[in-house]
Amino acid sequence: TQLLEQSPQFLSIQEGENLTVYCNSSSVFSSLQWYRQEPGEGPVLLVTVVTGGEVKKLKRLTFQFGDARKDSSLHITAAQPGDTGLYLCADPSYNTDKLIFGTGTRLQVFP
Amino acid sequence: DAGVIQSPRHEVTEMGQEVTLRCKPISGHDYLFWYRQTMMRGLELLIYFNNNVPIDDSGMPEDRFSAKMPNASFSTLKIQPSEPRDSAVYFCASSRPSDGNEQFFGPGTRLTVL
């Protein structure tokens, strides 16, 4: 069974700081999704990365897929309170129908 | 378009009672997923359906849990009898192949079993 470990588990920072969170797998991903879950809501897809070494940007968020496709990172520049939430990576390759979610990184950005 | 709809949003019940959670997926989505989320175990897949047929229920914790999808626009997750350790947030999600495995989640039902 594939395991998706995310780090750090918790992160509390001040507005304006930069941060990076990581997602690591015990096996190779075919692709990887990143979701954000705001308090009291369900997860929402941010991005899907497919190719090893791929970099995607979404405003202040930069997503990178490792060359070997066993890891991924999410970098946030100048974090804002609105970035607060649970960040989840998910692997759609274990089964074409379902997702395996990572353990999550809970981010709190203070004004 | 309306997103995934779940009801109730909050449920408080006593141990031993039956609990029924409801979900209306996005129209046109072929897949429906039920998840449970806790601080200790994260987001766990319980069961999922394709075209109203249960495909994988290996995540259902025990026989006290059951799920049905009588038609394309409605699904239920039932717990009978409920126990305090069932307290969690339960999410329903739906998807369709043309969206590249993106799952659309409902707002969740927060269940508290006393």
pLDDT in tens, B41-66: 899 999 999 999 999 999 998 899 99
Q: Is the pLDDT of residue B107 over 60?
A: yes
| B70 pLDDT above the threshold of 60 | yes
CA angle B96, A23, A73 (to 5 degrees): 95
Q: Is B75 exposed, middle or buried (0-12, 13-18, 19+ CB in 10 A)?
A: buried
Question: What digits encode the pLDDT tens for the residues A52-109?
Answer: 899 999 999 999 999 988 999 999 999 999 999 999 999 886 556 788 899 999 999 9
pLDDT range class, residue B1, cuts 50, 70, 90? low
Pairing type for strands B109-113 and B10-13 reads parallel
| Inter-chain CB proximity B102 and A40 less than 8 Å | no
Candidates B98, B102, B104, B110: best to mutate against A (most CBs of A within 10 A) is: B102
User: Which residue in B4, B103, B106 is closest to A99 by CB distance?
Assistant: B103
Among A1, A96, A97, A103, the residue to mutate for chain B (most B Cβ within 10 A): A97
Between these two residues, A8 and A99, which has the higher pLDDT value? Answer: A8
Q: How far is A56 from chain B (nearest CA, A)?
A: 17
Q: Distance of alpha carbon A81 from its chain centroid, rounded?
A: 17
What whole-number distance in Å separates Cα of residue A66 and Cα of residue A70? 6
Query: Would you mind telling me the total number of residues written for chain B in this entry?
Result: 114
Q: What is the pLDDT of residue B99?
A: 81
> DSSP letters of B60-93?
--STTEEEEEEETTEEEEEESS--GGG-EEEEEE
